[in-house]
Structure 1
Amino acid sequence: MSSVTASAADARAVGAARQRTADAYRSVRETTLRLAAPLAPEDTVAQSMPEASPVKWHLAHTTWFFEAFVLARDPAYRPPHPDWHYLFNSYYQSVGPMHARPQRGLLTRPTLDEVVAWRAHVDGCLLERLARDDGPALHALVRLGLNHEQQHQELLLTDVKHLFSIHPLRPAYREDLAAPPAGRATPLRFVPGETGVRTIGHAAEGEGFAFDCETPRHGVLLQPHALADRCATNAEFLEFVRDGGYRTPALWMAEGWDLVCREGWTRPLYWMEDEASEFTLGGVRALDPHAPVCHVSFFEADAFARWAGARLPTEAEWETRAARLPVRGNFLDDGLLHPAPAGAGEGPRQLFGDVWEWTSSPYVAYPGFRPLPGALGEYNGKFMCGQWVLRGGSCATPAGHVRATYRNFFHPAARWQFAGIRLAKDTAGQGPTAEQEGR
């Protein structure tokens, strides 16, 4: 190949990469606005609890991220509202001070229209920047920002769900939201997992985007174990409830039992008192006994597992199984916005989508972990204390956002996320066949 031909090929490759990044940027930013579209302006301002954020804040914070970490790299860029950075910085202390998280619902100004106009301004500037800058550093920052915004797309939905659930009228986010297709859960079975030394984590090169907390790739030792072939269902969790699960302290971690007593927990977060209906993004609907139970805390998941004579999987056990499967499932893009029953099939199902799956693994650094340089190093690393890992994505997670190595994390008391349960068992000493009927 001549140098002229090679140069032309290189130019085409650069142009194609630029176009892919620009297309992905437009798609993600438009999706966020589309998720906010069913809401009235009044809906976008309210904050239901300190852990949640108003929709308007999500729209603004994701815009702030691109302005602060991408556009601000250009000394010629002038932010149109520099004082808004204080309002919409989340927790990046090295960038500057920020408004208190529990008081985000008090930010009636700027208005929703002003925030949307700011989004449009930043979008125009960023796309123009992409058109004239082919540097890999810029594209890497934009990819990080897009994955960050996809996280906030899920948070936007979970925060709206919590907000509407405590409204006396329990309004629906979308009245036209279709119910998940009917299905019947097959009897729970346990499928043998891999044993011995295995490798987990994301490789630094050649595997596409990953957050820094997914690296580096490293070896783990897996003991004989088996994973449930599907998530625990509403019917199975209802049996736990009716068997006195929330009244039996021996099933609970001490901190979890304190929460049960203090908060009066008797069922998953959005179940109604009749234990036959639940609040959804489509309003109050019948509880599907075959769908995965969701909106349970780590403490509830752990207590249920103990009651069932099982345990929660470690994140290494989960990943070594999920890495062998395609990333398919009920995601945000399917439009159900609610977990659906597992389909028929052999081996583990629902590893991706439907509900995030609590693991027994604390959220800590992998051996050799190094956070991103500069302020972006605050993205994940500083939260590696007192939180637990969830895997697999949910019905509110954008398709293409998760992968087998993806590590979500929340405090063990968190219930407002689409979090559910997959059981695991130790199988040492049980012989070559670990597959068995579950309770």
Structure 2
Amino acid sequence: MAAVYPAATPVPDRSHEPLACRYTRIREASLAICSPLEVEDYVVQSMPDASPAKWHLAHTSWFFEQFLLRPLLNGYQPFQAGFEVLFNSYYQAVGPMHLRPERGLLTRPTVKEVFAYRQYVDEHMLKLLDARGEDDEHFEPLLELGMNHEQQHQELMFTDIKHLLSKNPLLPAYTRKPQPATEVRTSGPLQFLTFEGGVREIGATGKHFCFDNETPRHRTLVEPYALGDRLVTNGEYLEFMRDGGYRRAEFWLSDGWSTVNQEGWVRPFYWTPALDAEFTLRGLQPLDMAAPVCHLSYYEADAFARWANARLPTEAEWELAAESLPVKGNLLKSDMLKPLPAGDQPGLKQMFGDVWEWTASPYVAYPGYRAVKGALGEYNGKFMCSQLVLRGGSCVTPADHVRASYRNFFYPQSRWQFMGVRLARDL
């Protein structure tokens, strides 16, 4: 089945972009994501793992207020007492926080007040930027962390809004804006490309911004392996289903089989019972058999791989295959807002964008990892237990936010994010 497909979107070169311009651009991008929403859409929380759009807008402002404005801007007065509790996510060192499952009960502050909070923080952040300058070696890393933190929440805003709208029987679209008109492509037959093994290095090089969980760069042993040249498609996953995939315990990890039965899973998240359509950010659309299967848990991805006589790649295998590739693809900049077919060009395809790719690797610390001191040490390190690593970004990932060393992580039962499958095999 053919589908429109964007030209691979390269990451714009922003190496010379002034920090104030970058800060403003990223903050405005969050507001642009909310522009199709009605005021009622900002407040509701559809499940404990998701947050209301209003909360995302406030929390990202809280981050700048808490970690930059309070300690660094002389004479700064917080916007409103109590926000330090309402919009603290999980930083125990900062202080108490409102219960995560109850964020949707916060009808106050109002959406209008949250917008005023953002404006207040932005005005003071620009004052701080002007005072600290471009070459402050202590300030710039904090600012980069805050901006990348906001970009993470921009992706979460898309996935949380999608989940929220899917709970409405009317299945309303997030946007009615037409999908960009582009080249028509399908997905060619799946092929496996081989890669050499050996003692190799993975992890961030330190030349550009990265999160602490991408460090330190270190050596790891990789055996020769093969990777699928593209992502697994809806059509291929449907074959797994028609072969009894959700009813055959031999393909499933024990915890996965228990989850399938407890939750009653019989198809991917957002697929209709008729298996001919799926809910998207543009509303209900026909299921494109050539597009990547999406919104799968780790358990489903692993079960499909076993059925296909393959396995999921390790994160080292994925990174080594991707590190020499340019970061381009169906990312947020394409404005497609859904995964799309790979096309039939040679080589590895869809390594960046479309869907986050589950790996077989547990989310644990790299050898020699040390969390930074203070509250910011809670950003990544304390979650290094019981989660799995995903790589590559998705169709709602900001293009200048992802890289080959980027480590995303979720619990194996999670499905509401744009998550899919790339197969691997031993040689």
TM-score (norm 2): 0.94
d(CA) in 1 for partners of 2:280, 2:372: 37
User: What's 2:155 paired with?
Assistant: 154
2:18 corresponds to which of 17, 20, 23: 20
- Over the aligned positions, Cα root-mean-square deviation in angstroms equals 1.4
Question: Are the counterparts in 2 of residues 180 and 336 from structure 1 also a CA contact under 8 Å?
Answer: no
d(CA) in 1 for partners of 2:196, 2:117: 50
d(CA) in 1 for partners of 2:408, 2:17: 30
The one-letter amino acid paired with 1:272 is T
The one-letter amino acid paired with 1:165 is S
The one-letter amino acid paired with 1:132 is A
Matches within 5 A, 1:138-149: 138-149=139-150
Further displaced range: 166-175 or 385-394: 166-175
The one-letter amino acid paired with 2:212 is D
Give ranges in structure 1 of 5+ residues lacking alignment: 1-15, 428-439
Matches within 5 A, 1:80-159: 80-134=79-133, 135-159=136-160
Question: Are the counterparts in 2 of residues 18 and 131 from structure 1 also a CA contact under 8 Å?
Answer: no
Give per-residue Cα distances to partners, 1:26-62, cap 9 Å, x unaligned.
0000000000110011101000000000000000000
Question: Are the counterparts in 1 of residues 234 and 288 from structure 2 also a CA contact under 8 Å?
Answer: yes
The one-letter amino acid paired with 2:307 is W
Give the secondary structure class of the aligned counterpart of 1:285: strand
The one-letter amino acid paired with 2:82 is D
User: What's 1:329 paired with?
Assistant: 329
The one-letter amino acid paired with 1:271 is W
Structure 1 ranges of 4+ moved more than 4 A: 16-19
Matches within 5 A, 1:202-213: 202-204=204-206, 207-213=207-213
User: What's 1:199 paired with?
Assistant: 201
The one-letter amino acid paired with 2:69 is L
d(CA) in 1 for partners of 2:369, 2:338: 35
Give per-residue Cα distances to partners, 1:357-382, cap 9 Å, x unaligned.
00000000000001122110000000
Give the secondary structure class of the aligned counterpart of 2:30: helix
Question: Are the counterparts in 1 of residues 231 and 420 from structure 2 also a CA contact under 8 Å?
Answer: yes
Structure 1 residue 280 displacement after superposition: 0.1
The one-letter amino acid paired with 1:310 is A
Give per-residue Cα distances to partners, 1:267-287, cap 9 Å, x unaligned.
100101111100000000001
Give per-residue Cα distances to partners, 1:67-98, cap 9 Å, x unaligned.
00000113521102121110000000000100
Question: Are the counterparts in 2 of residues 18 and 130 from structure 1 also a CA contact under 8 Å?
Answer: no
The one-letter amino acid paired with 2:90 is Y
d(CA) in 1 for partners of 2:16, 2:57: 25
Relative CO higher for 1 or 2, CA cutoff 8 Å, sep ≥ 6? Answer: 2
d(CA) in 2 for partners of 1:390, 1:122: 33
Count matched residues: 410
User: What's 1:6 paired with?
Assistant: none
Give the fraction of aligned pairs with identical amino acids, expressed as a percent: 58
d(CA) in 2 for partners of 1:36, 1:346: 38
The one-letter amino acid paired with 1:105 is G
Give the secondary structure class of the aligned counterpart of 2:219: strand
d(CA) in 1 for partners of 2:87, 2:60: 9
Give the secondary structure class of the aligned counterpart of 1:376: helix
Question: Are the counterparts in 1 of residues 180 and 335 from structure 2 also a CA contact under 8 Å?
Answer: no
User: What's 2:345 paired with?
Assistant: 345
Question: Are the counterparts in 2 of residues 45 and 105 from structure 1 also a CA contact under 8 Å?
Answer: yes
Structure 1 residue 344 displacement after superposition: 2.2
d(CA) in 2 for partners of 1:276, 1:177: 21
Structure 1 residue 19 displacement after superposition: 6.5
Would you say 1:183 and 2:185 are equivalent positions? Answer: yes
User: What's 2:9 paired with?
Assistant: none
d(CA) in 2 for partners of 1:274, 1:179: 28
Structure 1 residue 185 displacement after superposition: 0.8
d(CA) in 1 for partners of 2:269, 2:48: 17
d(CA) in 2 for partners of 1:123, 1:177: 32
d(CA) in 2 for partners of 1:325, 1:416: 28
Would you say 1:288 and 2:288 are equivalent positions? Answer: yes
User: What's 2:395 paired with?
Assistant: 395
Give the secondary structure class of the aligned counterpart of 2:329: coil
User: What's 2:4 paired with?
Assistant: none
d(CA) in 1 for partners of 2:293, 2:53: 26
Give per-residue Cα distances to partners, 1:177-201, cap 9 Å, x unaligned.
4178542111000000230111000
Give the secondary structure class of the aligned counterpart of 2:210: coil
Question: Are the counterparts in 1 of residues 391 and 407 from structure 2 also a CA contact under 8 Å?
Answer: yes
User: What's 2:37 paired with?
Assistant: 39
d(CA) in 1 for partners of 2:394, 2:30: 17
| 1:76/1:396 CA distance change after superposition, 3 Å | same
The one-letter amino acid paired with 1:161 is K
Question: Are the counterparts in 1 of residues 359 and 389 from structure 2 also a CA contact under 8 Å?
Answer: yes
d(CA) in 2 for partners of 1:70, 1:245: 50
The one-letter amino acid paired with 2:191 is R
Matches within 5 A, 1:371-390: 371-390=371-390
